[in-house]
A and B are shown apart, each in its own frame.
Chain A
Amino acid sequence: MLQKKKLFFLCLLLLSTVHLLFAQEKITVSGKVVSDSSQPLSSVSVSIKGQRGGTTTDGNGSFTITVNKGATLIFSIVGYEEKAITVNNETTELSVSLSSKSTGLNDVVVIGYGTQKAKDVTSSISVVNINDTRQRPVVNIMQQLAGKAAGVQVQQFNGAPGQDFQVLVRGFTSLSGNANPVYVVDGIVGYNIATLDVNNIASITILKDASATGIYGVAGSANGVVQITTKKGVSSAPRIDVDVSQSFQSVTKKLAVLSGTQLHDLQIDEYVNAGHASDTSGIRLPANWQNINNNWQDLLFRNAPITKASVRVSGGGQGGNYALSVGYLNQDGILPTIGSKKYFAGITAEQNLGKWLTIGGRADYVRQITHNMPGGTQGTTGHGGGGAGSVTGAAIAFSPYAAMKDPSTGFYAVDNSNGQAIPNPLAQLYGTSDITTYNIVNAEGHLILKLPFGISYTSRISGNISDNFENIIQDPRITSGAAAVGGTADYKTYQNFTWLWDNILEYNASFGKHHLDVIAGVTAQKYTTQFSENGGSGFPIAGIYSISSAGDRPTSQNNGGYDMWSKYSQYARLMYNYDSRYLLTATVRRDGASQLGINNQYATFPAGSVGWRISNEEFMKDQKIFSDLKIRAGYGATGNLPSSLYPSYNVLNVSGGQYMYDPGGASYPGLGLNGTAANPNIKWEQTNQLNIGGDMAFFSNRLRATADYYNKHTTNLIYTSNLPNSSGQSNVVVNLPGKVINHGVEVTLSGEILTHSAVTWTSTFNISFNSNTIKANITPIAGGGIPSGAVSWLRDGYSIGSFFGYISQGVDPQTGYIKYADPDKTGKAENNLYLGKALPTAFGGFSNDLHYKNFSLDVLIEYAWGNKVFNANRYEEEGMYDLTNQLSTTLHRWKKPGDVTDMPLAILGENSSNQANNPYENGNNNVSSRYVENGSFVRLKNVALSYDFTSFNFVRSIGVKNLRAYFAMENMVTLTKYSGYSPDLNYGGTSPNTQGLDFGVYPLARAITFGLNVGF
């Protein structure tokens, strides 16, 4: 066409100006590539016949390429027939339709240390659809997994910004250990996923069964492996992608509470029922109290923005490619003072150095600053808060007639006017500053050497530095606990460093219909952590917390030290298939880990699977129903490590005791055993897993189904066993005989429901059933609980995350007390009865993708049922045993004999430790089924509506290659019978022995988002 010179000055929304200048003497061709079902095809390679270079299509299938007049463009992507189109002057806007290959399953999936064609996979692998990432206010990878993959349960147990989610792949396997899956990013095992900007992710696959995960051995492969590939540059002209969005969050729900006068009525009832009708002097009402009616939830919860922006520049040529990215994420909390900020920067590059050698590398940096919710009780510093008297608990329990600010100081008032231990939630938030700052750098370099005979050699070395700084300050002017000691301040620094070196040989070859892919590798890894903690109290000037001015620097706040571990492993895998019909995968990994006992420091993990693609058989040729049919089965070993670092050694403690060797009582250090005996025989926790599954596609792949049955038996359970006193030690970490069993079924159905040229609708539905049972002769292990007792227990014969306590039979209409069941006719209320389990019977998701012309609509629904929640907030907020405010459900409380209600009487001090007045021997507020609720839910997780402006001429005329605007709603509707904020919340985090305990946890937010995706 014309010789052109173009100059673009592009002002981006939140970023500095980017200048882009290029000059070419060719014609520019653009267009869109779609499948035969009119789905836009992304990542289609667009190359020029007989020349180097080319481009790929973006997420909308669009591409732009500059070529010589008359050149032939080749469009290719795995799974589709290749297509060649010659361009001339008249056809600068191409519409290309690629037809899928008859097999339809030539997609490549990422597996451990390599890739495999989907049709040849014999293990259980879920590919997570992340197409909607750029149209959602997704703040981390775990959030992106929710509802997307069968067998993967993602739970946001704490809504505070910067908090992790719980990701469980096929259930809890360990009583004591880590349950998180292993994250592998671009081949780096155990990657710190906090460093990843979600916008940079190209694909996520989840390896679930032993045949897939076993090659990762002892490093937690029993918990599944999440394989993440990041976006790379492609060989084309430089390309700039910009994503910006702005979200507005608000709390999903508020709970109805009593007004000041209703609370006062309740307080009088409490006194009367406790026999103190004549002396209610404990109720101290401020002057003019009837005119003060503070709803603390309204004062507390706020609308909070999330701002996200990221820019990627990528490109390549001459056998190399690169990508640079910067990102910014600022999420404010729906509670004041709380929030999290992240700054990302990353670079990745790869270059061929001749025919034989490719080198590449990457570096990522993230800085994260999180303002945490202060701990549950004043003086504790557990990040994320929760528990008795936490901020959200106090939002309910703080007196409606209490003043917000103390007029004598001008600061938030601490007292609720009744001298109660639950402080003003605003005073908690403003009185304690709990800030964690991470600086994380991931760096990786690799070389790939093409050797003779089809062998390639890859060596990859990576390092991760994670600096974590924690600063916790309690202001004596606002924090009642810190007032007595003149304020407290803690400054803690943790530095973790890991290096990992992988060396892999790979050989693949085909001999006729025989296909062979073999890898063998060795890997070494070492981890070091160092920490130092400084702190003090008694600061002379409130507001200046320099440790040098601290009046007291107790040893409990001043500490330091280091720890290390190392791993050394060898692994090999053979993948073989005959005509993609008879399939075989065999893996073996041998791991040595310093965390294992020196007598058992090496462990071997064999695994294998076989598959039969029936649809490839001769006798299937003539049938029209199945376009694909495969059955597969696998079995193998996976592992988990003990959490102790030095199990082979007896370790010393230094105490600062005092003994009168000499007058004056000078203190001498004392060295003694730390109480945990060495066990040089400790082994890895072993999970043997059987997986049987099938994949099928019908009607030319319009409907696909995958189903898997699995059975996981975890043995050599890592367990801390008590030692007899006669040994001189207290406990030892052992491998317990017994099992944790998980078995279940997963089904994924996906279909192209509408394939009309103007309207397309694809849908994926998944459902997973998991059943967990502990079969081990353990003394019951108590987990988290409430002041009247432990709620969550690990017990032989029950699921992990089960609740035990009394069974409530409702309120006795004559006395107003809760009646408790006595199933064994002991004559007394019975404790330790099974009350339900926190883990769901079934869970899953339903995602939908609709396109109409330039509109697209993504709808994601997630659900779970069969899970119970222990609503511990109601212990505090419906307990009616002290003078704190309560939920308005207590208006229906029992008041006089004959009242039939589910709410017992209000009685001051009536709890498990004061049972004298209760004819049923146990208090109304015991751990009982009274607080156990059905946590089943269906949630409209995300709805995103977007409009693609790419086809508009004015968009192209300013040099924009693609432009999309969207509006999304996250967590908009949750259908549940659960009465608290959200059934996902859990005070126990990811701990296997505390699940489903909703106790003062930061609630979830809903969010609406507006955003733009722009490509230049």
Chain B
Amino acid sequence: MKNKNIVFLLLAGAGVFSMAACKKSFLDITPPNQVSSSSVNTLAGLQDILNNCFEQMVDANGHFYQWFDLVNEDVRSDNSFDGQTDNNSNEAVTQCDNFTDNATTTDGRGWTELYGMIGTCNLLIDVAATPSADVKLTDSARGQMVASAKFLRALHYFNLVKAYGPVVMTLHTYSTDTAVRSPRSSLADCYKQIVADLTDAIAGLPDTYPNVVNQHTRATRPAAQALLAKVYAQEGDYADCLATCNAVLPPLYGGTGTGNFSLVANFADLFDDNKSTNTTESFFEIQHVGGTNAPTRNFATWLIAPSDYNLTIPDPFTKFVCPTQNLVNDFVNSGDMIRMNGVMVFENDSTVFTPGRIFFDNPNHYPTNATAQIPYLITRGQHVQGGSYSAGGSQSVIMLRLADIVLLKAEALNNTNATAQAIPLVNAIRARVSLPALTVTSQSDVALAILHERRLEFAGQGQRWSDLRRFGAQYTVDLMNNFTDYLGNKLYTVKPYMLLYAIPVAELNSNPACTQNDGY
């Protein structure tokens, strides 16, 4: 009997406590679509993440590359102004134009969008860093996708650094509450990371993708080299910039690049809805399907271009990026009608487009007399049919192109005391638009000539503010303080700290480790 008792007790005890054995694995329930899922770390999975990296450049995050860059670079500078009047639908643009952004400014300069895209690049890089069970995921395929993600991450960080100076360098997908609130790195460390990413990208990317028509929608080695050249230049490292320019430029421009790149003959084709796609001049471009679906059209067309290319339908919408009289004058005084008519269209204030007066009736920028010609930028799409943005918006946006690197090489040569070699490169760009060769020869005159050439070549293409800052901080501040409207009135009071934008208040509120830029 006693033995029986013990057996009973043992049985019950076993029943109760055998369940203790299941423990951890029983509770470790993972979501079907978790990041570390083995089905994500596959050829198809990584491709889908990479797809998303590119798709984000045409969805809401992609607004940065559709028009925020124009606000940051053209509206902030002497190229363009904010066309909104009293009905401010986008105060951030107004603040950017008038240097009134401050410590309470909400984002408008791309912080949200660029970090949104960086997060997806980080995701791909992290997932690809772990061993995969997929035999189809070859090292070369994985390497190419990681290199593509690093190219894009460098592009996004470069744009952040240009706008905000040193930023928070988030390089991984974090999963704890603390690691996601990080301080800003030093500017040198930011550039170091961008250069490292691009170096990896150059090593891992192909020159071209076989059997792909839209080559320039993908990350390629020439695109990474072109971007790296720009990064070096912005950092002030003209020696490395020169070497990198030579690596990508074709022999015609003294380079060793093997790619089949050349300037398009007709400058205006670069902004023509029907001709700007897959040109020989493009290293990297964002193409849009257009049409009614928001994630696939170039939203900027509606915000910047006139409603109707024939300029017969009044547009009630006030444009965010409008060319200044100063820019128009520069084109006219330089005799550069080809490039002026390539990047903008005009309509007559008094005769055709009366409603336009409502928002261009701004004495700071344009006269309101009957003969005034009102310019609109068409660099991000030429028109929206029928006065609504439900159609159109299919124009490609070329992010990196040959002329940029040719002029950058000229700038690098001039900055490394090889002014004589720089001049023919500038002339090559001028020749396309039927302008005579440069007459200046001194290093300082050529430097100014290159800056001026870049203004005319890249007007309305999101380059000006960085070009000015590269030329000189004080020069930029003085230029803006001396900028006048057509009546000769000075418009801005600019201090050196305003070369950088204020860190958005939302970041500071949610990230105590992040500091505001000096002066704000």
Whole-angstrom CA separation of A242 from B120 in the bound complex: 65
- Pair A659/B55 contact, Cβ less than 8 Å: yes
Is A562 in the interface zone, CB < 8 Å from B?
A: yes
B394 → chain A closest CB, angstroms: 9
Residues of A within 8 A of B48 (CB): 654, 668-671
Partner of B54, one of A594, A661, A677: A661
Whole-angstrom CA separation of A848 from B296 in the bound complex: 70
Give the number of residues in A that approach B within 8 Å (Cβ atoms): 72
- Pair A520/B51 contact, Cβ less than 8 Å: no
- Pair B173/A673 contact, Cβ less than 8 Å: yes
* A623-650, CB < 8 A from B: 645-646, 648-650
Is A410 in the interface zone, CB < 8 Å from B?
A: no
- Pair A657/B51 contact, Cβ less than 8 Å: yes
- Pair A671/B45 contact, Cβ less than 8 Å: yes
Is B30 in the interface zone, CB < 8 Å from A?
A: yes
Whole-angstrom CA separation of A725 from B173 in the bound complex: 12
Residues of B within 8 A of A593 (CB): 27
Classify chain B's interface size.
Answer: 35 or more
A589 → chain B closest CB, angstroms: 14
Whole-angstrom CA separation of A663 from B181 in the bound complex: 41
Whole-angstrom CA separation of A732 from B177 in the bound complex: 7
Whole-angstrom CA separation of A726 from B31 in the bound complex: 25
* B34-60, CB < 8 A from A: 34-37, 40, 45, 48-49, 51-52, 54-59
A451-B12, A665-B296 given; A503·B173 CB < 8 A: no
A520 → chain B closest CB, angstroms: 7
Minimum CB distance partner of B46 in chain A: A671
Residues of A within 8 A of B16 (CB): 457, 503-505, 520-522
Residues of A within 8 A of B11 (CB): 449
A522-B17, A561-B32, A725-B507 given; A566·B26 CB < 8 A: yes
Is B205 in the interface zone, CB < 8 Å from A?
A: no
Is A680 in the interface zone, CB < 8 Å from B?
A: yes
- Pair A658/B173 contact, Cβ less than 8 Å: no
Is B337 in the interface zone, CB < 8 Å from A?
A: no
B54 → chain A closest CB, angstroms: 5
B298 → chain A closest CB, angstroms: 11
Whole-angstrom CA separation of A678 from B510 in the bound complex: 17
Whole-angstrom CA separation of A459 from B18 in the bound complex: 13
- Pair B56/A672 contact, Cβ less than 8 Å: yes
- Pair A457/B15 contact, Cβ less than 8 Å: yes
- Pair B180/A729 contact, Cβ less than 8 Å: yes
* A525-567, CB < 8 A from B: 526, 561-567
- Pair B180/A662 contact, Cβ less than 8 Å: no
A601-B27, A652-B33, A659-B51 given; A681·B287 CB < 8 A: no
Per-residue CB proximity of A448-473 to B under 8 Å, as 1/0?
01011101010100000000000000
A455-B9, A655-B55 given; A649·B174 CB < 8 A: no
A50 → chain B closest CB, angstroms: 29
A660-B214, A663-B213, A726-B514 given; A669·B51 CB < 8 A: yes
Partner of A652, one of B5, B34, B54, B514: B34
* B164-178, CB < 8 A from A: 167-168, 170, 173-177
Is A978 in the interface zone, CB < 8 Å from B?
A: no
Is B8 in the interface zone, CB < 8 Å from A?
A: yes
Is B262 in the interface zone, CB < 8 Å from A?
A: no
A530 → chain B closest CB, angstroms: 11
A451-B8, A728-B170 given; A670·B51 CB < 8 A: yes
Per-residue CB proximity of B118-136 to A under 8 Å, as 1/0?
1110110000000000000
Of A649, A659, A680, most B-chain CB atoms within 10 Å? A659
Per-residue CB proximity of A668-704 to B under 8 Å, as 1/0?
1111110001111100000000000000000000000
Minimum CB distance partner of B117 in chain A: A728
A681-B177, A724-B507 given; A568·B119 CB < 8 A: no
A773 → chain B closest CB, angstroms: 25
- Pair A728/B34 contact, Cβ less than 8 Å: no
Minimum CB distance partner of A564 in chain B: B29
* B246-289, CB < 8 A from A: 287-289
Residues of B within 8 A of A520 (CB): 16
- Pair B52/A725 contact, Cβ less than 8 Å: no
- Pair A598/B177 contact, Cβ less than 8 Å: no
Residues of B within 8 A of A566 (CB): 26-27, 29
Whole-angstrom CA separation of A673 from B22 in the bound complex: 32
Whole-angstrom CA separation of A655 from B29 in the bound complex: 24
Residues of A within 8 A of B107 (CB): 725
Residues of B within 8 A of A679 (CB): 175-177
- Pair B112/A725 contact, Cβ less than 8 Å: yes
Residues of B within 8 A of A601 (CB): 27
Whole-angstrom CA separation of A452 from B11 in the bound complex: 12
- Pair A662/B214 contact, Cβ less than 8 Å: yes
Is B370 in the interface zone, CB < 8 Å from A?
A: no
Whole-angstrom CA separation of A64 from B394 in the bound complex: 89
A828 → chain B closest CB, angstroms: 20
A476 → chain B closest CB, angstroms: 23
Whole-angstrom CA separation of A669 from B32 in the bound complex: 17
B17 → chain A closest CB, angstroms: 7
Whole-angstrom CA separation of A501 from B22 in the bound complex: 13
- Pair A645/B12 contact, Cβ less than 8 Å: no
A659-B217, A670-B48, A726-B511 given; A651·B22 CB < 8 A: no
A959 → chain B closest CB, angstroms: 46
Is A570 in the interface zone, CB < 8 Å from B?
A: yes
Residues of B within 8 A of A729 (CB): 119, 173-174, 180
Partner of B49, one of A562, A662, A672: A672
Minimum CB distance partner of B52 in chain A: A670
Is B143 in the interface zone, CB < 8 Å from A?
A: no
Whole-angstrom CA separation of A727 from B175 in the bound complex: 10
- Pair A650/B175 contact, Cβ less than 8 Å: yes
Is B20 in the interface zone, CB < 8 Å from A?
A: yes
- Of the A-B pairs whose beta carbons lie under 8 Å apart in the complex, a sample of 5, sorted by A's number, is A451-B12, A671-B51, A679-B177, A681-B177, A725-B504
Residue numbers of B with Cβ under 8 A of A are 5, 8-9, 11-13, 15-17, 19-20, 22-23, 26-37, 40, 45, 48-49, 51-52, 54-59, 107, 111-112, 115-116, 118-120, 122-123, 167-168, 170, 173-177, 180-182, 212-214, 217-218, 287-289, 293, 295-296, 504, 506-507, 510-511, 514
What 3 A-B pairs are tightest by C-beta distance, nearest first?
A: A728-B119, A670-B52, A657-B55
